[in-house]
Amino acid sequence: MKQFKIRFSKNRKIYYAISIGIILVGVICNIVFGAKLDIEFRGGTQLKYSYTDASGAVTQTEVEKTVKNTVKRDASVLLNKNVKNSSGTATTNNVTIELSGTDAISVETQQQIAKDLQTKFTNSKFSLIESSSINPSMGQKFFVKCLVAVAITIVLLVLYIALRFRKIGGMSAGVMAIVALLHDVCMVYFTFIFFQMPINGNFIAVILLILGYSLNDTIIVYDRIRENRTEMPAKTPIGELVDLSINQTLSRSIFTALCTVMVIACLCVVAAYYQLTSVTTLALPMMIGVVSGCYSSVCIAGPLYVGWNEHKQKKQKKGHAKPQAASAEE
């Protein structure tokens, strides 16, 4: 059997550099593009209508004007032509209207918008396909709730690892696993930034899932380290031990990630084809998260753990050396 002999802990600076590089690019993107909170979190109104348009009368500016007249607020309008339906044929056009400001509109106003659009474009059958109108206070509450959920999850997961991996230094293993997790969370976040996807409930679901997935991956590696620790001579350098463990579990890590990515990719392609935004914005970041989760548990968590322990050993040696020197003086 081909046994990989990649020296992960020795090359760790390269991996760190790659990750830090990507994170830097992400941060720059974040500053340039900015994060977009979905109305689910910040409050606001979004309406989506389908319409038929044989004559081409429905234009962005016209719709915008009509809506503005009705609501007395600025509105941004996005036309989306030839949307596919379930049989894969293009049938209707969609228009997404987003009202500025974060206040929800009343049911009456929403009815008025539909009515005015219908009067303005008599031959285009406007029908509502999706609408959401959320008050800012409720959105914020939901957002905070999501953050609390993520925080609870992280704490519980660290505790679990610390408990299960006491033998190989539970806390350091736990903390390093969390660093790898945060790395993956960043990657998922940057995916949202990069593709200009609004941050919403899907974002939270992906983050939480990746927390579980990436940790799962890291744990398989730790489990091998724990096993090898008992089997190999106690004096084996920690770097060697970890490298061996990572290499042994590498094919499993890759295969599992591959299977998962394969399935999510199907989901992503199908969702993109049928223009199911709610599914695409779930599947795409999830795919990136799984790849990053696989990478981080192999190239970040393990090597970081080695770095931490080597650092600790050095410190201990120094600590040992001093009392000896002291005794020599006596």
86 lines the binding site for another protein (CB under 8 A): yes
| Among 26-34, 81-89, 236-244, 314-322, the segment contacting another protein (CB under 8 A) | 81-89
Show contacts with another protein in window 237-296 (CB under 8 A): 248, 251-252, 255-256, 258-264, 266-267, 269-271, 273-274, 276, 278-279, 282-283, 286
Compute the radius of gyration of the chain from its Cα atoms.
27
DSSP annotation of 168: G
- Site size with another protein, rule: CB under 8 A: 75
> How many other C-beta atoms lie within 10 A of the C-beta of residue 58?
23
Among 64, 98, 116, 223, interactor with another protein by CB under 8 A:
223
Q: How far is the CB of 2 from another protein (least distance, A)?
A: 9
Which of residues 153 and 236 has its CB atom nearest to another protein in the complex? 153
Torsion of CA 261, 262, 265, 271, to 10 degrees: -120
Gap between the Cα atoms of 245 and 239, Å rounded: 10
Measured from the CB of residue 219, what is the shortest distance to another protein in angstroms?
A: 5
Report residue 286: phi and psi, to 5°: -65, -40
* CA 313 – CA 238 distance, rounded (Å): 10
One-letter amino acid for residue 315 of the chain: K
Residue 299 CB, nearest approach to another protein (Å): 19
> Which residues on neighbouring strands pair with residue 10, listed in sequence order?
none
Confirm or reject binding of residue 67 to another protein (CB under 8 A). no
Distance from the Cα of residue 302 to its chain's centroid: 21
For another protein, the binding residue among 14, 27, 57, 152 (CB under 8 A) is 152
> Which residues inside 185-214 make contact with another protein, applying CB under 8 A?
201-202, 204-205, 208-209, 211-213
Compare residues 17 and 147 and give the one whose CB is closer to another protein: 147
Of the candidates 238, 244, 221, which has an alpha carbon nearest to the alpha carbon of residue 300?
221
Using CB under 8 A, pick the residue from 65, 68, 164, 229 that binds another protein.
Answer: 164
Rank residues 120 and 224 by Cβ distance to another protein and give the closer one. Answer: 224
Residue 249's closest CA among 269, 221, 219, 286?
A: 221
Contact between 74 and another protein per CB under 8 A: no
Binding residue for another protein (CB under 8 A) from 141, 311, 317, 320?
A: 141
Beta carbon nearer to another protein, 128 or 321: 128
Report if residue 101 touches another protein, rule: CB under 8 A.
no
- Which of 11, 132 has the CB closer to another protein? 132
According to the binding rule CB under 8 A, does residue 172 interact with another protein? no
Residue pair 220/164 in contact by the 8 Å Cβ criterion: no
How many angstroms separate the first and last alpha carbons of the chain?
58
Which residue in 26, 73, 80 sits closest to 195, CA to CA? Answer: 26
